[in-house]
Amino acid sequence: MNPLISASQLREALAAGQKPVLLDVRWVLGRDDGAQSYAAGHIPGAVFVDLEKELSSAPGEHTGRHPLPLPADFEAAARSWGINAESHVVVYDNSGALAAARAWWLLRHAGFDAVQVLDGGLAAWSDAGGELALGYQQPAAGTVSLSWGRMPVVEFDELDALEGTLIDSRATARYLGIEEPVDPVAGHIPGALNRPTTDNLDAQMRFRNPEVLHDSFLKLDAQRSGSAAYCGSGITAAHQVLAAASAGIELALYPGSWSEYCSYTDAPVATSDEKHRR
């Protein structure tokens, strides 16, 4: 299944009587108004998903800022969204899929493959003539049974043995250590190459053509087995995994990402801009 679906394709599916489970993952780092934004206008039938509470677990000393949820908790959340074994799920946000990609990745990681991300998100839906609904949607509980560990993952103690390319998905200034607005240490994991997730999107906040994305990843040798992506806390790195998947390339995710890595005081940190991009 193509990991992306266009607004026109979604409208056609709805017009044909199909009833996908629509998940609205409205989230921006440092803000807590996602639910309010959802209530002020969402795709009819969409359910609000709280990234902080349902797509993450409580952080610990060496977990990063957004640890993966516990499998049982995630299954319970998926059921509360109305997902059944035969469901088709479409996830969206209003930030270029930077948050929606997390839900996509987690569902895939939990063995649920019939999930797509709405390319362009809420803006694309509106541009295609889609109507918006107000308030909150409470679906009937689903019965889906999920597994875990279906997507490739890299952990902290495996980084030194990584055989592929390690992609740092943060803004270049953070990668270089010029600025660090969130985490206590600036810089990047030694050997990582910088490719911000914003490189995945065009001016309309839609994913670039798969061929363009494919060529971009090839420049980093990211097609090599064992390649992986990280970001600040594992959220936007999922966007990198999603973009690569749309281009036919498999990337592993480092869930803890930089916020976990830099919590180890003896972990080496690089700040040089030498060969930081290709």
Question: Catalytic site residues?
Answer: 231
- Name 193's bridge partners: 167
CA distances from 166 to 1, 144, 192, 228, 252 (A): 26, 34, 5, 5, 9
Evaluate whether 79 touches 106 at the Cβ level (below 8 Å). no
Alpha-carbon distance of 3 to 90, in angstroms, equals 10
Evaluate whether 10 touches 90 at the Cβ level (below 8 Å). yes
CA distances from 189 to 229, 232, 265 (A): 11, 11, 13
Spell out the residues 6+ positions from residue 255 whose beta carbon is closer than 8 angstroms to its own.
Answer: 64, 67, 68, 153, 155, 234
Dihedral sign computed on CA atoms, order 31, 32, 35, 37 = negative
